[in-house]
Amino acid sequence: MDFSDFFPFWHKLTAAQQEKLTEVTHPLEAKAGTLLHDGSGECMGLMLVQTGQLRVYTLSSEGREITLYRLFDQDICLFSASCVMPDVQFSVMVEAEKDCRILVVPSCLFKNLMEDSAPVANYINQLISGRFSEVMWLMEQIMWKSFDKRLAAFLLEESRLENSPVLKITHERIANHMGTAREVVTRMLRYFQSEGMVRLTRGAIELTDENALQALEE
């Protein structure tokens, strides 16, 4: 494994730190749909995504989900190790959206590295700042952008991620991503279909007019 792919500070660690990190980091494979972190106080450690796709989301008091951001190849999942960051009080769930290969850095070593190495601490603080910026951007979208524009943007993003105009995704799943009710998603998708922007089939959505969706998003 090449930790420099994940950590720009790798060459600033001591030889002993590099050796320890290599020794104790262990691989983890997760099938799509696996819940890797349930938002509890349990600290599984820092997750490094080798391949796959993770979804980081939160739950409302009523049990409604909303996706905060996603993680892809060579991304780092911080909040699975939030127990070693006492100033971060942010409960999230992490699930595998696609089959994943992950490296897990134990929380105790991660904490020691943050305490002993200024480059590590600075990099982690930058990551935390970046993640919270993503969350704040999402909140702004929810507060100020109409649902039809948000849904159009979501469909286009999914199409880019899947590299296909046909999305194998349910209305319920979209609702979970967007923090709304399935009925709201269904009504808007039916409107999109009436306007010729999508075609709905059982368990799938085909984007038939991406230009119209892009114009709506903008």
Q: pLDDT digits over 152-169, tens only?
A: 999 999 999 999 999 999
Q: What's the pTM value of the predicted model, to 2 decimals?
A: 0.84
- For the chain, give every residue range classified as CATH 1.10.10.10: 145-217
Q: Is the pLDDT of residue 209 over 90?
A: yes
- For the chain, give every residue range classified as CATH 2.60.120.10: 3-141
- CATH superfamily of this structure's domain 3-141: Jelly Rolls (2.60.120.10)
pLDDT at 5: 86
Q: What is residue 165's DSSP assignment? A: S
According to CATH, the topology of domain 145-217 is Arc Repressor Mutant, subunit A (1.10.10)
Cα torsion through 56, 79, 64, 133, rounded to 10: -70
pLDDT at 128: 85
Percent of the chain with pLDDT over 70: 94
Q: Is the pLDDT of residue 7 over 70?
A: yes
The amino acid present at 88, given as its one-letter code, is V
| Helix residue spans in the chain (DSSP H) | 15-24, 107-116, 118-144, 147-162, 171-178, 182-194, 210-217
Please, is 70 exposed, middle or buried when counting C-beta atoms within 10 Å of its C-beta (0-12, 13-18, 19+)? middle
Out of 10-14, 60-64, 84-88, 136-140, which region has the weakest mean confidence (pLDDT)?
84-88
Residue-wise pLDDT tens digits, 12-25: 999 999 999 999 99
